[in-house]
């Protein structure tokens, strides 16, 4: 069992070796939910958690009671990648897990991970499995919200299927500015990295991946549950 507790949702994945058996999401922690999954899949023996939020105090005890090994991801655990970040203790755990998942999917290649979630992160893993660093900027919905919250008159809008190149009214102007801006940012970042690393692969993940994937000019692989896949790769390669 692997758990990705992000800013918006808690995702759980059940894996057998490299194969996923189940993905589930929920807004908050619920012991009955986790216990139900353990009872449904009695062969589960390990759990690795990646969390950007506070973990409930009852969580470790629940797994101990079920005779399961339990670990919380951090940069000090044995990992299938190396961390080249100057401050690994400040590196987001979700970024570590996503990097592990990317290196596992494309071993021996440079990989860029574009995580379009609450924040937009663009990270790079080398062909030797070294996490080289990355960029952090506001995610799409954060950009919409900040325009509304940090001004007196701009409305807060939602993403739409049709996005104009330029807006003819305030709603369209915000939509075009935010969506096109994040697309340009992602595409230009990918192009800059491709100019340096010829064999670069690109993985798009995160909650806004389905919305953005068809709008990007670059060829990408979409894996919405890359963090879960990375957590599974860590468990699969090391006995924690």
The predicted pLDDT at position 240 comes to 64
* pLDDT single digits (tens) 183-238: 999 999 999 999 999 889 999 999 999 999 999 999 999 998 999 999 999 998 88
The predicted pLDDT at position 6 comes to 86
* pLDDT single digits (tens) 78-89: 999 999 999 999
How far apart are the C-alpha atoms of 66 and 51, rounded to whole Å? 21
DSSP 8-state class, residue 117: S
Q: Is the pLDDT of residue 239 over 80?
A: no
Least confident of 12-26, 34-48, 202-216: 12-26
What are the E-state strand segments in 107-152? 111-116, 119-125, 130-138
Percent of the chain with pLDDT over 70: 99
How far apart are the C-alpha atoms of 51 and 6, rounded to whole Å? 6
Among 24, 59, 1, which Cα is nearest to 231's?
1
Active-site position among 4, 94, 115, 208: 94
* pLDDT single digits (tens) 89-121: 999 999 999 999 999 999 999 999 999 999 999
Q: What does the DSSP assignment read for 186-210?
A: HHHHHHHHHHH-TT-EEEEESTTHH
Average pLDDT of the chain to the nearest whole number: 94
Query: Any idea of the CA torsion for 215, 223, 134, 208, to the nearest 10 degrees?
Result: 50
- What domains are there in the chain, each with its CATH number? 2-139+180-237 (3.30.420.40)
Tell me the pLDDT band of 173, cut-offs 50, 70 and 90. very high
Contact criterion met (CB below 8 Å) for 198 and 68: no
Mean local confidence (pLDDT), 171-194: 97
Percent of the chain with pLDDT over 90: 85
Q: How far is CA 66 from CA 8, 39, 78, 113, 222, in A?
A: 27, 9, 24, 35, 35
If one counts every other C-beta atom within 10 angstroms of the C-beta of residue 136, the result is 13
Instruction: State whether residue 50 is helix, strand or coil.
Output: strand
Tell me the pLDDT band of 134, cut-offs 50, 70 and 90. very high
DSSP 8-state class, residue 128: T
Among 101, 137, 143, which Cα is nearest to 121's?
137
Q: Is the pLDDT of residue 30 over 80?
A: yes
Residue 94 designated active-site: yes
Tell me the pLDDT band of 8, cut-offs 50, 70 and 90. confident
The predicted pLDDT at position 88 comes to 96
């Amino acid at each position: 069992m692997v758990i990705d507790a992000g800013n918006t949702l808690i995702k759980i994945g059940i894996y057998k070796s490299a194969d996923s058996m189940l993905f589930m999401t929920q807004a908050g922690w619920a012991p009955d939910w986790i216990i139900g999954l353990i009872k449904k899949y009695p062969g589960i023996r390990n759990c690795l958690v990646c969390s950007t939020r506070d973990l409930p105090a009852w969580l470790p005890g629940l797994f101990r009671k079920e005779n399961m090994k339990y670990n919380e991801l951090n940069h000090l655990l044995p990992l299938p990648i190396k961390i080249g970040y100057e401050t690994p203790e400040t590196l987001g755990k979700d970024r570590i897990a996503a990097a592990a998942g990317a290196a596992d999917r494309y071993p021996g290649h440079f990989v860029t991970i574009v995580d379009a979630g609450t924040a937009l992160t663009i990270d790079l893993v080398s062909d030797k499995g070294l996490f080289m660093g990355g960029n952090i900027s506001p995610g799409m919905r954060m950009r919409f919200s900040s325009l509304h919250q940090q001004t007196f008159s701009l409305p807060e809008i939602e993403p739409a299927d049709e996005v104009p190149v330029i807006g003819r009214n305030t709603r369209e102007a915000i939509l075009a500015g935010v969506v096109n801006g994040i697309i340009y940012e992602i595409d230009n970042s990918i192009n800059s990295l491709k100019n340096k690393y010829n064999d670069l692969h690109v993985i798009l993940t995160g909650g806004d991946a389905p919305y953005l994937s068809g709008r990007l000019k670059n060829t990408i692989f979409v894996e919405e549950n890359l963090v879960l896949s990375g957590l599974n790769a860590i468990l699969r390669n090391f006995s924690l």
